């Protein structure tokens, strides 16, 4: 395969298992800084091109987080909703067997869409090594993402951006899209640090209360009623969340939620991208020209992969949160200081590529690409 550019791709492995019918792909983009790190998603429409793009993005994310990891990603083509637990386990174990030779020297797996700590336990067991993946259950030495590392990192990056402007989170209004693992912990920590979350959304819509929503109340509404819209406040369409008069906006669920169609209605002055690709770059640039500070996805949502690094070091939960805070604080600040014309994404990419190039140069022109 022809190299895309000086960074990769190093390996693109498409695999098939006759017994289970498993179809999968594992892409290792660059390993100059360390083994490629990236999750295994299980979706019915996964493509090699999609996984290649995700693996490349993981190279930037891991380098920007200043971790000793390269970038990688995997996908298994299957619809988990149509599988029994036994069938799903069979696919995961079959995939593990096909990529065994790359683990953990060139690839360390993790959870992603439709895979959890349960599948990671199966993957590690099939490989025969706890170093095969991260996101494992805590009772076998893991630091599952359910601890809230990603949401904590999102909240930390937001706090740094506010402080960079010489302001305080106290009293600042926030709207958060999504109230799953990331959104709940983002709200929890921002509220603890003095911000006022006034809007939340989930698949049922948006709840807005200008006087503020409380974390415990929203957790109860979600648990008992199945939706944040059951709480006290004004009920709006989900898309209206992005147009509310708030200081901070956190797109935390779907891609492409702020587009050319609604960008003119965005009122927030800080946007923290907790989701992957919630805004295309050309739309981000429109916001940047209006002096909106954007914290790009691969910077702001790196708490999960930093937690993964801590797991490979066998650190405990307390140490993990300390490392997530230190790395998010340091790297967000560096990005904001390096940004020209408010273009934070371009600044972060330059920093990530500089770090990878430095590692490649120290290992020879092409790093480990032909080892």
Q: Would you list the DSSP string of 2-68? A: --SBTTB--EEEEEEETTTTEEEEEEEEE-SSSSEE--EEEETT--HHHHHHHHHHHHHHHHHTT-S
State which residues form the domain around 26. Answer: 11-56+72-142
Residue 368 lies in a domain: no
Shared-domain flag, residues 200 and 341:
yes
Does residue 45 carry a pLDDT above 50? yes
Residue 66 lies in a domain: no
Helices (H), the chain: 48-64, 85-99, 117-127, 149-164, 181-192, 215-225, 281-288, 297-300, 303-312, 317-338, 344-362
Angle at 29 between CA 24 and CA 34, to 5 degrees: 110
Residue 197 lies in a domain: yes
Residue 281 lies in a domain: yes
Question: Cα(235)–Cα(232) distance, rounded to whole angstroms?
Answer: 9
Shared-domain flag, residues 263 and 282:
yes
Q: Is 316 exposed, middle or buried (0-12, 13-18, 19+ CB in 10 A)?
A: exposed
Percent of the chain residues topping a pLDDT of 70: 97
Range with lowest mean pLDDT among 1-15, 70-84, 91-105, 122-136? 1-15
Does residue 70 carry a pLDDT above 80? yes
Shared-domain flag, residues 207 and 86:
no
The CATH number that applies at residue 77 is: 3.40.50.10860
How does pLDDT run across 6-23, given as a tens digit for each residue? Answer: 898 999 999 999 999 999
Final residue in a domain of this structure, among 118, 142, 166? 142
Final residue in a domain of this structure, among 116, 142, 168? 142
Q: Is 341 exposed, middle or buried (0-12, 13-18, 19+ CB in 10 A)?
A: exposed
Range with lowest mean pLDDT among 27-31, 51-55, 120-124, 365-369? 365-369
Shared-domain flag, residues 43 and 103:
yes
Which pLDDT score, from 0 to 100, does residue 2 have? 52
Residue 200 lies in a domain: yes
Residue 35 lies in a domain: yes
Shared-domain flag, residues 210 and 83:
no
Shared-domain flag, residues 27 and 107:
yes
Does residue 1 carry a pLDDT above 90? no
Instruction: Indicate the pLDDT class of residue 319, thresholds 50, 70 and 90.
Output: very high
Does residue 371 carry a pLDDT above 70? no
Shared-domain flag, residues 186 and 251:
yes
Final residue in a domain of this structure, among 83, 112, 142? 142
142-153: average pLDDT: 88
- Top-confidence residue, 7 or 368: 7
Question: Cα(120)–Cα(292) distance, rounded to whole angstroms?
Answer: 39
The two three-digit tokens of residue 44, written as one number: 């019915």
Which pLDDT score, from 0 to 100, does residue 3 have? 63
How many domains, in total, are found in the chain?
Answer: 2
Percent of the chain residues topping a pLDDT of 90: 89
Shared-domain flag, residues 170 and 33:
no
Residue 229 lies in a domain: yes
Residue 321 lies in a domain: no
**Catalytic residue ranges:** 73
Shared-domain flag, residues 207 and 340:
yes
What's the chain's average pLDDT?
94
Shared-domain flag, residues 176 and 295:
yes
Shared-domain flag, residues 138 and 281:
no
């Amino acid at each position: 395969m022809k190299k895309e550019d000086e960074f990769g791709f190093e390996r693109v492995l498409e695999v098939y298992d006759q017994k289970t019918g498993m179809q999968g792909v594992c892409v290792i983009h660059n390993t100059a800084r360390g083994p490629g790190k990236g999750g295994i998603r299980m979706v019915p429409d996964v493509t090699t091109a999609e996984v290649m793009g995700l693996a490349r993005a993981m190279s930037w994310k891991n380098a920007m987080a200043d971790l000793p990891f390269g970038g990688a990603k995997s996908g298994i083509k299957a619809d988990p909703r149509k599988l029994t637990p036994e069938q799903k386990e069979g696919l995961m174990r079959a995939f593990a067997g096909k990529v065994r030779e790359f683990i953990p020297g060139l690839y360390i797996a993790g959870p992603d869409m439709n895979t959890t700590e349960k599948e990671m336990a199966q993957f590690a067991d099939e490989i025969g090594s706890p170093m095969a993946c991260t996101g494992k259950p805590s009772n076998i030495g893991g630091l599952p993402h359910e601890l809230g590392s990603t949401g904590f990192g999102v909240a930390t990056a937001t706090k740094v951006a506010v402080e960079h402007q010489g302001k305080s989170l106290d009293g600042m209004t926030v709207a958060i899209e999504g109230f799953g693992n990331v959104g709940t912990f983002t709200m929890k920590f921002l509220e603890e640090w003095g911000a006022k979350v006034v809007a939340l959304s989930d698949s049922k819509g948006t709840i807005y209360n200008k006087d503020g929503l409380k974390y415990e109340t929203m957790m109860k509404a979600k648990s008992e009623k199945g939706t944040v819209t059951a709480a006290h406040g004004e009920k709006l369409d989900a898309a209206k969340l992005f147009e509310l008069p708030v200081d901070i906006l956190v797109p935390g669920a779907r891609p492409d939620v702020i587009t050319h169609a609604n960008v003119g209605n965005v009122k927030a002055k800080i946007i923290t991208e907790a989701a992957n690709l919630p805004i295309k770059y050309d739309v981000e640039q429109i916001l940047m020209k209006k002096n909106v500070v954007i914290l790009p996805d691969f910077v702001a949502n790196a708490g999960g992969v930093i937690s993964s690094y801590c797991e490979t070091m066998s650190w405990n939960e307390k140490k993990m949160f300390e490392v997530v805070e230190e790395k998010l604080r340091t790297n967000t600040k560096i990005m904001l200081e390096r940004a020209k014309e408010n273009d934070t994404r371009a600044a972060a990419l330059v920093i990530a590529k500089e770090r990878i190039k430095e590692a490649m140069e120290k290992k020879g022109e092409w790093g480990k690409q032909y080892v």
